[in-house]
Amino acid sequence: MGTSESDTGPEEVLLDPRVMDPTGALVNLESMDQGTVDEALEVLRALRAWHQAERRMNQTSQRYMKLGENDMRALRWVIAGQRSGKPVTPTMIAQYLGISTASVTKMLDRLERAGHIRRHPHPADRRSSTVEVTEATQQAARDSVGRSHAERFRIAAEMSPEERAAVIRFLEALTSTESSAGP
């Protein structure tokens, strides 16, 4: 199960505290047996492999739909809004993406010219508009991103409740390390 240092490439070694923290300043390896260290590294390798696979899947979907990352994120978010019956405005998209409304306007102009979206007057606010994704683009998203997500959902659903709970605890604990990433 475990992989020794000599069996790993440079990227794999970056995960190994025996190499990256040989003095134990960050990770106290003295309190762990070799099996625990090897298994923890195996978890981190699997997580890294997932991140790389997810990145490749996103890039493939972007190429398939001929769109950038923010374009794809915006389209998925607008589709979710449409499906939940909630109108989505350019301001909402800007907030979701964390970019300026001017940048969203340019993005929406580009997406509209390419036939991915339509804009309509807002039903309750004459100063605003709503955005909807065309059926053709929704179908393209289902064919790429949707299929991948459905497969990931199936895998999660096939896990036992205990396995899902362990994965959730692990991912939530990893998420909590975000605050310790800064200086």
Q: Is the pLDDT at 24 greater than 60, yes or no?
A: yes
Nearest to 94 by CA among 114, 74, 112: 74
Nearest to 107 by CA among 59, 70, 62: 70
Q: Is the pLDDT at 115 greater than 50, yes or no?
A: yes
Residue 22 is given by DSSP the state: T
Interatomic CA distance for residues 117 and 134, integer angstroms? 5
Instruction: List the structure tokens of 26.
Output: 């960050």
Q: Is the pLDDT at 4 greater than 70, yes or no?
A: no
Domains of the chain: 1-65 (no CATH), 69-177 (1.10.10.10)
Distance of CA 91 to the CA centre of its chain: 22
* C-alpha pair distances (Å), 154 with each of 64, 71, 149, 182: 23, 26, 9, 36
- Which pLDDT band holds residue 180 (cuts at 50, 70, 90)? low
Q: Is the pLDDT at 72 greater than 80, yes or no?
A: yes
- Of how many residues is the chain composed? 183
Give the whole-number percent of the chain exceeding pLDDT 70.
Answer: 91
Interatomic CA distance for residues 4 and 16, integer angstroms? 10
Please give the average per-residue pLDDT across 156-170, as a whole number.
96
Interatomic CA distance for residues 167 and 60, integer angstroms? 27
User: What's the predicted TM-score (pTM) here?
Assistant: 0.66
State the average pLDDT for the chain. Answer: 88
Q: Is the pLDDT at 2 greater than 50, yes or no?
A: no
pLDDT score recorded for residue 144: 80
Residue 120, classed as helix, strand or coil, is strand
Please give the average per-residue pLDDT across 103-113, as a whole number.
95
pLDDT score recorded for residue 8: 53
- Which pLDDT band holds residue 182 (cuts at 50, 70, 90)? low
Which one has a higher pLDDT value, 59 or 89? Answer: 89
- Which pLDDT band holds residue 5 (cuts at 50, 70, 90)? very low
